[in-house]
């Protein structure tokens, strides 16, 4: 992976937000909401590996989607990184201002960063056009079942913060671990918080992740925010993340789930979070995971642009 002086854009798309942009990719290189370091390097790695698609052609190429026989990334731009200097609150207000300032027809696609950034992203997207449902593709629930008051935003309670913004029944979890623990005596609290939140389509459900099961869990005809925590993938496909999952969705399944959601709903904002690696990591496994994350970003962007 050659280091050049100039930062590449995601997939080599234009590096500024144009008035007619339909998808705005941007980085949120922040790790305020996690005890682990490395999540701040997500945009760095994913931008670098996204060059793969055009690297055979010296960085400039027309790409074709073989499935639709159509163009790729037409209307996508890279809005750069949201600066993460200062406090979490300052980061959140910069995220809010950035999203609010985007052209009306464009869909923001954020690359984190740890999972806590989903909360200010949802708030900003919801402020432009009301979201009916947030879908978390995540191995973990990120739901707070301890205490009476909701703790300050952290990557472990981000779904609770999002649910608090959208109201009851509007959060769907897909790919979560089916066996969940809570503190002794708090199992009932977890169950009632989950009932309040919405639907869960865990790993190893009876209906798998086919189109019918996904449409049933997510619904149809709604404005949807999609958050992909990369640990929803099994560790053999994603170990460059804070909490790799022994078991999880296969990459192909994950893409299928995203396409099903997009076919039946309108995605008005999305993110890919929790890629994590040391800045100087160059081992084959980290690079393969970053390449996979870049490919997922490609799918997500194409889904936004073509459905
Ligand atoms: Mn998460």
Rounded to an integer, what distance in angstroms lies between the CA atom of residue 302 and that of residue 37?
30
CA of 230 to the centre of ligand 1 (A): 8
Strand pairing category for 107-112 and 133-137:
unpaired
CA of 184 to the centre of ligand 1 (A): 23
Q: What is the per-residue pLDDT for 4? A: 44
| Segment (H or E) for 81 | strand 76-81
- Quick check: 267 and 304 in contact, CB under 8 A? yes
Segment 57-81 shows an average pLDDT of 90
Segment 268-276 shows an average pLDDT of 98
CA of 67 to the centre of ligand 1 (A): 31
Rounded to an integer, what distance in angstroms lies between the CA atom of residue 122 and that of residue 269?
8
CA of 156 to the centre of ligand 1 (A): 7
The residue ranges of DSSP E strands in 198-265, in sequence order, are 198-201, 223-229
Judged against a pLDDT cut of 60, whether residue 5 lies above it is answered with no
Q: 197-231, pLDDT tens digit by residue?
A: 999 999 998 888 999 999 999 999 999 999 999 99
pLDDT band at residue 281, thresholds of 50, 70 and 90?
A: very high
Q: 287-304, pLDDT tens digit by residue?
A: 999 999 999 999 999 999
- Percentage of the chain exceeding pLDDT 70: 98
Q: 223-265, pLDDT tens digit by residue?
A: 999 999 999 999 999 999 999 999 999 999 999 999 999 999 9
Comparing CA positions, the residue from 167, 117, 165, 162 lying closest to residue 135 is 162
CA of 68 to the centre of ligand 1 (A): 32
Kindly report the pTM of this predicted structure: 0.95
Segment 265-286 shows an average pLDDT of 98
CA of 169 to the centre of ligand 1 (A): 19
CA of 119 to the centre of ligand 1 (A): 11
CA of 149 to the centre of ligand 1 (A): 20
Lowest mean pLDDT among 55-69, 156-170, 263-277, 283-297: 55-69
Rounded to an integer, what distance in angstroms lies between the CA atom of residue 306 and that of residue 179?
36
CA of 141 to the centre of ligand 1 (A): 7
Protein residues within 5 Å, CB atom, of ion ligand 1: 115, 138, 140, 142, 229
Q: What is the per-residue pLDDT for 2? A: 39
């Amino acid at each position: 992976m050659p280091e050049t002086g100039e930062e590449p854009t995601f997939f080599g798309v234009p590096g500024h937000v144009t008035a007619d942009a339909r998808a705005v990719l941007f980085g949120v290189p922040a790790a305020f909401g996690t005890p682990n370091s490395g999540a701040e390097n997500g945009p760095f790695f994913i931008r670098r590996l996204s060059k793969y698609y055009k690297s055979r052609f010296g960085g400039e190429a027309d790409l074709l989607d073989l499935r639709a026989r159509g163009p790729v990334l037409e209307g996508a731009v890279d809005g750069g990184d949201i600066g993460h200097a200062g406090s979490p609150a300052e980061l959140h207000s910069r995220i809010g201002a950035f999203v609010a300032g985007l052209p009306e027809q464009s869909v923001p696609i954020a690359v984190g960063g740890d999972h806590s950034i989903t909360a200010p992203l949802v708030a900003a997207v919801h402020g432009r056009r009301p979201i009916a449902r947030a879908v978390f593709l995540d191995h973990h629930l990120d739901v707070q079942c301890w205490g009476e008051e909701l703790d300050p935003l952290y990557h472990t309670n981000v779904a609770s913060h999002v649910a608090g913004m959208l109201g009851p029944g509007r959060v769907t979890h897909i790919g979560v671990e089916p066996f969940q623990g809570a503190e002794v005596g708090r199992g009932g609290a977890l169950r009632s918080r989950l009932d309040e939140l919405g639907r869960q389509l865990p790993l190893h459900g009876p209906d798998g992740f086919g189109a019918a099961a996904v449409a049933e869990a997510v619904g149809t005809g709604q404005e949807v925010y999609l958050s992909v925590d990369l640990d929803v993938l099994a560790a053999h496909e994603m170990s460059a993340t804070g909490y790799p999952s022994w078991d999880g969705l296969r990459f192909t399944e994950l893409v299928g789930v995203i396409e099903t959601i997009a076919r039946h709903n309108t995605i008005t904002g999305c993110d890919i979070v929790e890629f994590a690696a040391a800045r100087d990591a160059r081992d084959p496994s980290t690079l393969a995971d970053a390449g996979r994350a870049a490919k997922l970003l490609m799918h997500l962007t194409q889904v936004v642009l073509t459905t």
